[in-house]
Structure formats: C-alpha cells, structure tokens
Amino acid sequence: QVQLVESGGGLVQAGGSLRLSCAASGGTVSGYYLGWFRQAPGKEREFVLTISWNTGRTYYADSMKGRFTISRDYTKNTMYLQLNSLKPEDTAVYYCAATKRSTSSDARDYDYWGQGTQVTVSS
C-alpha cells in the first residue's frame, strides 16, 4: 500500500516561492498517477495538477498554469510542487494523492492521500 508524506509548507510573503515535496513509500509508484490538491478553510478540495509517474505527462488546472510546476525524482520516489509568485488566495492545505486508474482532476478517483502540508501566504 502506497503511503504519501508531504513536506515543505510554511509561511511566505506574497510574491514568494515554496517547494512542496511528496515522498512515497510502501512500494514503487510506478504505474501511478500522482496529483496535488489543495483545500482552503471553508472551501472544497481543489485540483491543482496531476502527473503520470511513468511518462511524466502532466495536466494542470487552468488557474494553476504558469505559477506552479511539478517534477519528480525517480531515485527518491518523490514528487515536487514548485509554487511561484504566491498570492494570499493560495493559502491552503496542500495534499498529494495517488491513483492507478487514470489521469483525473476528481479527488474521488484517488485512493491514497498524504496528511497535507499548510501553505500560508501573507499580504
């Protein structure tokens, strides 16, 4: 069973950057689609982007294009989310998730979730 652990969140000023990590354990994530979601207080969980671990093909939510970038390190079984030009409205708990089904922006399609990491952007 895949286990996911996020890290890298914190407090940053508007315009700043953060790099979030999602480390997978419990087995290889080969064949999985990994995704990032975020949830702000009082709001529903929102899709950020997803990546096919095997092919590297990515799919971004339209509102996330241009400022957020995903990458992965095979040797560390880790996925990274680079957040640039952060805005106060990016404040949320960021979660990584995994599924073997297919590329999906629907949180219900993901079977494994991390505990989340808090990102707070001050104005």
DSSP 3-15: EEEEE--EEEETT
Check whether 63 has a pLDDT greater than 90.
no
Residues contacting residue 51 through CB under 8 Å, at least 6 positions apart: 33, 34, 35, 57, 58, 59, 70, 72, 79
Instruction: Encode pLDDT of 8-25 as tens digits.
Output: 999 999 999 999 999 999
For residue 59, what pLDDT is reported?
93
Supply the mean pLDDT for the chain. Answer: 94
Strand partners, 68: 83
Please report which confidence band the pLDDT of residue 64 belongs to, taking 50, 70 and 90 as the band edges. confident
Strands 18-25 and 78-83: antiparallel
Instruction: Encode pLDDT of 78-114 as tens digits.
Output: 999 999 999 999 999 999 999 998 889 999 999 999 9
- CA dihedral (104, 48, 82, 88) in degrees, to 10, reads -170
